[in-house]
Structure formats: C-alpha cells, structure tokens
Amino acid sequence: MESALDYSTAKALLEWQIEMGADEAIGDAALNRYELGETMPRAAASPTVTPQPQSGTAPAETGTPAARTDATTAAREAARTAQDLAGLRAAMAAFEHCDLKSGARSLVFADGIAGAPVMILGEAPGRDEDREGRPFVGKAGQLLDRMLAAIDRGRDRAEAPVYISNVLPWRPPQNRTPDKAEIAMMLPFVERHVQLAAPKILVLMGNTPCQALLGRSGITRMRGHLTQALDLPVLPMFHPAYLLRNPAAKREAWADLLALKAQLKEL
C-alpha cells in the first residue's frame, strides 16, 4: 500500500534538507553518487583547495601545503598581469585553483562605481549574490544600502559613490565562512583589485576582510578603529549580516558610519 507523507512530515523533511545545505534544486532526477563512484568527472584542475561544507564555521585549512603555495603563486602572477579591472575580472574567471568556483553559479566581481573614494570589502557572495552576479544584493546588502544612504552615499550615486567587492568572488557552500587557505589564495586578486579601483579609504565589513588585509580578526574590538593597509586608511566595521542578527550593534555601526563620513571630508 502506498503511503503519502502528511503535510507536517513533508515540511519537516524539507526543513531538515535546507538545514543540511540542500537548499537548491539543481536537477529533476536524484543522482546516487555512491553508484557513480570514480566515473564522476573532477570539477577543477589540480592543485586545488577543497572546501569542507560545515555550516556557520570556518573549516580547517585544506589541500597540501605545496598545493596551497602553487595556487597562491598562480594567483599572484595572474593578478599582477591584469592591467585594468576588466583584465582582473577575466584573470579571476580563468583561475582554476579554487574549488569554490565549481560550486558557484557566478563570479561576483564588484558593483558600484570604480574609482569611488570608498571601497567596501565584504566576505563572499551568498545565494542572492550568486544568482544575480552582484555583491550585496540580499538582505544584508539592502541594509548596507540603507546604511550608506544614511551618510548620503550609494553604489549608484554618481556624486557620492562607493565601490563594493568581496574577498572571495565565489559563494562558499552553505554560506560557510571562508577558510584561511581560500583567503590566502585569493588575496593577490583582492590586493590588485584595490590597487586598480584606487579608493581613498577601505571599509572592511566583518572578520574575513580583516583577516585577509590586516592578518587578524576580532571585529568587536577592531571596529571603528582607523588603521592602515595597502597604503590606505582602513576602517573595520560590523558586517551588515551581523547587524541583522544583532540589531543592538547598529548603534556602533552608526558611530562608524559617521566616522567614515568625517574621514572622507579630510581625504
């Protein structure tokens, strides 16, 4: 006798799948990957750094040290030869050493106006950004736009623009935090991106860009303290996704926005 799932069981099963990270339908028929075994094509050329899907936590560094060194050297060379932002985007699109690329739909490069005095660096695209191919378009991005509007700035405001990008251009599985190897591998691209976009000040949103450019994290202590990196003034701030989860921290974020506005007047 055929047994149909009742509504609440089906809903609970769906919620469990989403919780486990199966949040997108990518094919009509289920694939049994145990049966496919070794016949599955490998996604990316070696050496690679293989991401470990673990929701909400940064996985341990992956790949052998030699593979990580090769990948970073390749990134440095590719970034160095990019002459402009279009060239950098093309170099990143052609970069095959980061396994995140094979799990993402889009390369999320940047948004806003290149050459703007403020460059904002986030962590990595989420699901909405991966779909649209633009950084900060989901809920956190909408909050970021409101925060910028509060100091009369915006990604589309020609008279007071910002330029927005991320440390990683590909969405990590289940939006997990990028690991140190992934950050180190993509850092040459980030550094060249900043050099080519030539902002007057960099805003680092959350721990990942702080880890990438300042070599340390601890945003609660670092936020609001102006520092230097890549020969530029740098302002760490709370990530808007953190502010969505912790609205009480908007008070500090507002103080940091005012500091940014004041700093921009001096540059």
- Rounded Cα distance between 186 and 199, Å, is 19
Which range of residues in 1-9, 129-137, 155-163, 229-237 is near ligand URA by CB under 6 A? 129-137
Q: Between 23 and 77, name the residue whose CB sits nearer to ligand URA.
A: 23
Which range of residues in 9-17, 134-142, 215-223, 242-250 is near ligand URA by CB under 6 A? 134-142
- Rounded Cα distance between 81 and 202, Å, is 23
Sequence-ordered list of residues with C-beta below 8 angstroms from that of 228, at least 6 positions apart, any chain = 234
Residue 172 found at the interface with ligand URA (CB under 6 A): no
Residue 141 found at the interface with ligand URA (CB under 6 A): yes
What is the contact mask toward ligand URA in residues 36 to 75, using x (rule: CB under 6 A)?
----------------------------------------
Do the strands 111-112 and 162-166 form a parallel or antiparallel pair, or are they unpaired? antiparallel
- Counting residues that bind ligand URA (by CB under 6 A) gives 13
The least CB distance from residue 84 to ligand URA, in Å, is 22
Residue 207 found at the interface with ligand URA (CB under 6 A): no
- Rounded Cα distance between 184 and 140, Å, is 25
Residue 99 found at the interface with ligand URA (CB under 6 A): no
Place of tokens 């302002």: 235
Q: Between 124 and 187, name the residue whose CB sits nearer to ligand URA.
A: 124
59, 112, 126, 236: residue in contact with ligand URA (rule CB under 6 A): 126
Residue 166 found at the interface with ligand URA (CB under 6 A): yes
Place of tokens 């050496």: 47
- Rounded Cα distance between 225 and 122, Å, is 17
Place of tokens 């599985």: 173
Strand partners, 236: 204
Q: Hey, what are 22's tokens?
A: 């199966």
97, 100, 112, 136: residue in contact with ligand URA (rule CB under 6 A): 136
Q: Hey, what are 178's tokens?
A: 């990028």
Q: Between 67 and 197, name the residue whose CB sits nearer to ligand URA.
A: 197
Q: Between 114 and 124, name the residue whose CB sits nearer to ligand URA.
A: 124
Q: Between 148 and 241, name the residue whose CB sits nearer to ligand URA.
A: 241
116, 140, 183, 185: residue in contact with ligand URA (rule CB under 6 A): 140
Q: How many CB atoms lie within 10 A of CB 179?
A: 21
What residue is closest to ligand URA based on CB?
Answer: 122
Cβ–Cβ < 8 Å for 117, 264: yes
Torsion angle of the four alpha carbons 181, 172, 190, 153, in this order, in degrees rounded to the nearest 10: -150
Element (H, E) at 139: helix 139-150
Q: Interface with ligand URA by CB under 6 A: which residues? A: 122-126, 129, 135-136, 138, 140-141, 166, 241
